[in-house]
């Protein structure tokens, strides 16, 4: 009917700057190629850094109905979106939930998403901090890495990346938040955001070898978080 599903590569933004390649800029080309009369709307799409399922609609009412469904499903405690991620490190527990407050914090010239472990009622009421929750399950583990299923109950920018660092298992290819996970004698620990400036993810030589990458190529490694499934009404 009115729906079309695509698989977005990592690094492609939904809305780009003028002159920048983006999903939105490609929609008119896609519509012409498919010979469809109506414009497309983006119903649901992963963030720029992530890959995976993009749901498009050529009907405005269908778009609004689905977006309302996703919001109400989360409010009812359901998990309409399922992601998978490859992590550097294996969680101590095979499944569980990550709960924390998240907020934007200025770090020098850039704004970063940082966790707030015990947000106050006033900061939540003023919406300075948002209470967030992600359910996770380990699907497999090998060689110090894991494949995780992630189901966010809330929506906040970079929520999944930050939640994975709180598990001490940052996503492979996370060059924004992985520096917050340090290691002493092979034991990982969490660093405060102000002590962990953004940098290219650091991987050990064995993992680099298995990936077939040189240290110089590492900064081009994309984020391994993929929107795998959406539940529709």
- Cα-only R_g, the chain: 19
Q: What is the pTM of this model?
A: 0.93
49 vs 110, 148, 174, CA distance in Å? Answer: 17, 17, 9
Question: Which CATH number is 3-78 given?
Answer: 3.30.70
50: left (phi over 0), alpha (psi -120 to 50) or beta: beta
Q: What is the pLDDT along the chain (233 residues), one digit of tens a residue?
A: 889 999 999 999 998 888 889 999 999 999 999 888 888 889 999 999 999 999 999 999 999 999 999 989 988 988 999 999 999 999 999 999 999 999 998 877 788 999 998 888 888 888 889 999 999 999 999 999 999 999 999 989 999 999 999 999 999 999 999 999 998 888 899 998 888 888 999 999 999 999 999 988 999 999 999 999 999 98
% pLDDT > 70, the chain: 100
Tell me the β-bridge partners of 4. 56
Q: Are the CB atoms for 66 and 232 separated by under 8 Å? A: yes
Per DSSP, 179 falls in state G
CB atoms near residue 198 (< 10 Å): 15
Pinpoint the residues of the chain covered by CATH 3.30.70.
3-78
């Amino acid at each position: 009917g009115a729906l079309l599903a695509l698989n977005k590569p990592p690094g492609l933004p939904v809305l780009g700057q003028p002159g920048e390649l983006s999903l939105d800029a490609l929609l008119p080309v896609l519509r012409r190629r498919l010979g469809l009369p109506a414009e497309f709307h983006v119903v649901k799409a992963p963030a720029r850094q992530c890959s995976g399922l993009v749901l498009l609609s050529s009907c405005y009412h269908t778009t609004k109905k689905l977006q309302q469904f996703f919001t109400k499903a989360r409010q009812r405690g359901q998990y309409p979106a399922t992601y998978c991620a490859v992590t550097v490190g294996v969680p101590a527990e095979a499944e569980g939930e990550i709960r924390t407050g998240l907020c934007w914090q200025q770090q020098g010239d850039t704004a970063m998403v940082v966790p707030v472990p015990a947000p106050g009622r006033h900061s939540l009421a003023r919406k300075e901090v948002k209470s967030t929750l992600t359910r996770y399950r380990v699907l497999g583990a090998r060689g110090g890495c894991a494949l995780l299923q992630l189901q966010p109950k809330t929506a906040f920018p970079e929520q999944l990346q930050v939640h994975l660092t709180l598990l001490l298992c940052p996503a492979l290819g996370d060059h924004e938040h992985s520096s917050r996970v340090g290691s002493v004698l092979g034991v990982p620990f969490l660093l405060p955001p102000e002590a962990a400036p953004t940098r290219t993810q650091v991987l050990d030589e064995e993992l680099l070898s298995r990936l077939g990458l040189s240290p110089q190529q590492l900064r081009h490694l994309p984020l391994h978080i993929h929107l795998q499934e959406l539940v529709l009404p």
